[in-house]
Structure 1
Amino acid sequence: MLRPVRTSMCTKCSLRLVVPLLERTYNVRVVSVQRSTNALVPRPVFGRHASSTTWTKSSTAQGEGPEESKIRAVPFRQHPTAADETFERYHGHNFFSAKPQQAKGPVERYLPFWVGSAKIRARITQAQVGRDITRTVYNPRTGRMETRWDTDWRWVHDQFTFSRSYSPTQYPDLQVYASYKYRRGFVNPIRGASIADATQLSPSMLDPSPQASEYQTVRKVDPYTMRPTIAQKFIQAAIQSNEEAAADLFLRETYRADRTRLVRIELEFEDFKLYPVYLPAYVYTIRYLGRKFRTIINGNDLLVGGQRMYDWNKISVATALGTSSFMLLSGGLGGAVPGGLTGAFWLGIVAPVVVASLLTLYYPILSLYARDLWRQAEMRAHAQEPDSRWDTDWIHAYSAYEEQARYRAWQQEQQYGGGYREKFGYEERESMRRSGGDPKGYYGILGVTKDASKEEIQSAFRGLAMKHHPDRYSTPKEKEAAKVKFQQISAAYSVLRDPQKRRQYDTTGQG
């Protein structure tokens, strides 16, 4: 269905003619949404083989969304009935839960995410470590020596440097919700390892669930409204926070300290990448006290997020029983409050019951209001950010297998110190060196020519990596030989897949 906003009569007539033709031809729903005169206006249109999202900003500036060929999506793998069961369990997980009476859904929808990965070098430039000790000090008020706890702080004079590889399958915080449609706190719980199932987004992925006729609705695709540079800041902040926590743990274990402070870390991002990926979601709408609440369930692995409600009647009864039991066991408060037993009844039982009931009843509303304020402040702050290009050299098409292979190669480099590059593959390198143009034999290892495209190199790497992966072999000798070959393949691919490293290798033979 098309909803043109503030368009001229000529434009409306054109849209009424074109949109039905597009929907019949490509079997999709075309949606147009305009948020404001200065907001981004998403207009997703899906072709036969891929997806495309274009953007316009006001009437003077124009830009594009993520490049069509780089968009990936995680497919729906769970039936809507499984989502219904997950919804019921989530909102009925204990005795005090209030099952929603006015729930609508599920609506099958693809939610946009920016997914990041990075290799970093972290250096601890400053830190203090402290040990909890007891000191005996003079108390001038009492005139006596007293023992109390204190912390003995010492500066760390050593400098430590760490290398770490961040993958979105291991660190869900590297998956950033790229829209402002839903509250971020309700969307974040659906992030997880399902990102590894991402494939090329195609029109067939928009087809509704075929198993049951009652769920025959066209899947919706939300547009990207968060710029990649903003997502980059989210991811870098998450990595910074993780490195600070890791540094704190490392310092306390290394120096056998109880606490740390004044820790300063310098981060260097050696290989930062960002990928546009859609996650599948079943979205339920709950009406509660006149407000709409969303429960979002991952359509691939059934991870769920949303506001839980609790039954204020059960809470009030439990509070009344608890306070009454406490008063009976403690002998009452009749002599401690004005009014005797009557005052104790109102202050000790009625007041706690009223407070607990009101908090239980209105907490979801207050929480939603706070989240709305946070979202509006976030949108205002992001609107002040300078515009950035949707497609930069660090935005790529996501490949989970490629990412995992890079992560394993990095781990092996850390374990072996890179020595295998000099120890293994000597014969291949010598052969290519004699033939010229391939000093270390990287092209020969992958079996490609010097003018091979990036896609050919990726294709060769996938085939060789699958063939020589150590997990495919059973005997220790075969595993060791496969490990050596896999390391050679990973080393060659790490250079040839990167245009700058490949150019340097072709020019100087270094890489």
Structure 2
Amino acid sequence: MDWALYSDLFLNFQKVEQRYIPFWVSSAIVNVTIVSCQVGYDYVAQVFNPITKRMEWQNLTEWQYIYELPLTFQKSYRGDMEIMQHYASKKYPIKYINKLRGDFVNNSVKWNDSFLFDNTKSDGKKRRKLDLFEVSPEDAVKLAWKEINKNEYYQAETFLKEHYGADKVRFLKINCEPVSLRISPLYVPIYVFKTNFINSDFHTFVNANNGKVSGVHHYAFQYASLITAGASLFYWFFTEQNFTSQFFKFGFLFRKLIFPTVLVGLLTLFFPHILKFYYERQLYYEKMKAFAKEQQAKQNGNRTYRKRWNYEWVKPLSEENRRQDYYEEQVRNKNHREQQKQQTKRSFWSSWRDTYESSSKNTNNQYNNYSHASTNTRVNVNDLKLYKVLGVKPTATKEEIQKAFREKALKTHPDRFQKAEEKEKAKEQFQEIINAYTVLRD
């Protein structure tokens, strides 16, 4: 199709661009388990109303538990599904680009540099524009997984309503576990039509593969005003008393006819501008958020330790550390409070005597520890092995032991390995690290 001729005759667009926009296309196989839920059945019954002191009909719901749970299903998500296609740039508002999604994935071919040039031109040198990927693969996987969970929650509700003949579902809990998840980059060819309306540029997008169209809709404000005026006259003619006598009064005409007609016309005229401003601000905030995230990632990359672990891997370890720290803090606070109570009950001389005795005992203990240090280091061979497992010195502090434990646990966690042999070996090493930390942390 000759797009220049079409735009001149019908669309009156000022400019047409041929452009490739990036997409992340995902495909997955997931196991979905419905863990628990309640189904509700609506019915009508008479209930006593304490305010009116009467029996009144009300809509009620009877809730029942499902005892056949859990139910497990395996679902597959293909790349030609719209929820598995995610716009990977931030040049245009995502609200418009999402309407171009569809089955164009089935017609994809391997990229060739010749696609960048328009062969329909006589010189063949017109270059098509190419947008860059601004969304990372990790973020694209998170978006795809979020869409999968959202879709499975909706499908689980629909399945329960149809299977049990229920009207409502509540307390629904599902677990989605990925069996396989793949993601691929894809460039989609589109036409971008640009037009100027009241000193503001608007874009219309056309998918060059499946022909889908998206963009801001412009409505005829003249027709909207005429319809509003006709509807106002029709309404007030049947509802207003003495309509004929008041029709020729300016106040009546202004309030009942002129004001609503002008208001609807202006809203219809400037609605595309309002919508465009909203989408542009939303796109600006998304860019600023992505920029801040990138800067934070650069700062974290300059540190000595690594921060790019998935939270699912380190979550059990971090929760265990928080519980242990909380327990130790509670014990320290309890001991401190007991010591404060005991010190307030003692007299000056008894507290002085206790202080003197404790200081003498500490001196003797330090002397004994110093005299038998070499013997203990030779005898406690098992402790040295535990220190060696964590990769720290026997003189390491508690903080150094905790830090070494976290690093070792992250490197040897069984979930990081795919093969069965490597996973079994990692389990043994992981268990040795946990046992060593359990002994040395005290």
- The TM-score, its normalising length taken from structure 1, stands at 0.54
Query: Max radius of gyration: which structure?
Result: 2
Matches within 5 A, 1:7-156: 79-81=1-3, 103-156=13-66
Equivalent residue letter for 1:146: E
Please say if residues 230 and 382 of structure 1, whose CA atoms lie closer than 8 Å, have aligned partners that are also in contact.
Answer: no
Please say if residues 117 and 124 of structure 2, whose CA atoms lie closer than 8 Å, have aligned partners that are also in contact.
Answer: no
- Say which SS state the counterpart of residue 261 (structure 1) adopts: strand
Report the Cα offset of residue 84 of structure 1: 7.5
Report the Cα offset of residue 184 of structure 1: 0.7
Q: In the alignment, which of 148, 168, 177 is matched to residue 239 of structure 1?
A: 148
Report the Cα offset of residue 104 of structure 1: 2.6
Which of the two has greater helix per residue?
2
Report the Cα offset of residue 374 of structure 1: 2.0
Q: In the alignment, which of 192, 203, 207 is matched to residue 283 of structure 1?
A: 192
Partner of 2:400: none
Q: In the alignment, which of 105, 128, 137 is matched to residue 195 of structure 1?
A: 105
Equivalent residue letter for 1:346: F
- Which sits farther off after the overlay, 235-244 or 135-144? 135-144
Identity %: 28
- Say which SS state the counterpart of residue 308 (structure 1) adopts: coil
Report the Cα offset of residue 387 of structure 1: 4.8
Partner of 1:218: 127
CA distance in 1, matches of 2:46, 2:181: 53
The 1:334/1:285 distance shift into structure 2, 3 A limit, reads farther
CA distance in 1, matches of 2:15, 2:421: 53
Q: Does 1:229 align with 2:135?
A: no
Please say if residues 120 and 268 of structure 1, whose CA atoms lie closer than 8 Å, have aligned partners that are also in contact.
Answer: yes
- Say which SS state the counterpart of residue 14 (structure 2) adopts: strand
Report the Cα offset of residue 207 of structure 1: 2.2
CA distance in 1, matches of 2:119, 2:217: 27
- Say which SS state the counterpart of residue 200 (structure 1) adopts: coil
Partner of 2:74: 163
Matches within 5 A, 1:330-345: 330-332=238-240, 342-345=250-253
Partner of 2:283: 375
Equivalent residue letter for 2:154: A
CA distance in 1, matches of 2:17, 2:137: 27
Report the Cα offset of residue 344 of structure 1: 4.1
Structure 2 unpaired stretches of 5+: 302-307, 309-416, 423-442
Q: Does 1:304 align with 2:206?
A: no
Report the Cα offset of residue 341 of structure 1: 6.0
CA distance in 1, matches of 2:274, 2:123: 35
Equivalent residue letter for 2:273: I
Partner of 1:352: 260
CA distance in 2, matches of 1:357, 1:369: 19
CA distance in 2, matches of 1:503, 1:213: 62
The 1:341/1:213 distance shift into structure 2, 3 A limit, reads farther
The 1:342/1:304 distance shift into structure 2, 3 A limit, reads same
- Say which SS state the counterpart of residue 139 (structure 2) adopts: helix
- Say which SS state the counterpart of residue 259 (structure 2) adopts: helix
Structure 1 unpaired stretches of 5+: 1-78, 90-98, 393-498, 505-511
Partner of 1:18: none
The 1:333/1:196 distance shift into structure 2, 3 A limit, reads farther
Equivalent residue letter for 1:199: V
CA distance in 2, matches of 1:202, 1:321: 58
The 1:310/1:503 distance shift into structure 2, 3 A limit, reads farther
- Which sits farther off after the overlay, 300-309 or 339-348? 339-348
CA distance in 1, matches of 2:16, 2:196: 14
Equivalent residue letter for 1:345: L
CA distance in 1, matches of 2:254, 2:128: 55
The 1:233/1:160 distance shift into structure 2, 3 A limit, reads same
Equivalent residue letter for 2:33: R
Report the Cα offset of residue 223 of structure 1: 1.0
Please say if residues 333 and 340 of structure 1, whose CA atoms lie closer than 8 Å, have aligned partners that are also in contact.
Answer: no
Superimposed CA distance per residue, residues 265-305 of structure 1 (whole angstroms, 9 cap, x where no aligned partner): 21111111110000000011122232222111111121111
- The TM-score, its normalising length taken from structure 2, stands at 0.62
Query: Alignment length, in residue pairs?
Result: 301
Report the Cα offset of residue 80 of structure 1: 4.7
The 1:314/1:178 distance shift into structure 2, 3 A limit, reads same
Report the Cα offset of residue 332 of structure 1: 2.4
Partner of 2:336: none
The 1:356/1:333 distance shift into structure 2, 3 A limit, reads farther
CA distance in 2, matches of 1:209, 1:325: 58
CA distance in 2, matches of 1:214, 1:321: 56
CA distance in 2, matches of 1:221, 1:323: 51
- Say which SS state the counterpart of residue 225 (structure 1) adopts: coil
Q: In the alignment, which of 314, 319, 322 is matched to residue 231 of structure 2?
A: 322
CA distance in 2, matches of 1:313, 1:268: 55
Equivalent residue letter for 2:264: A
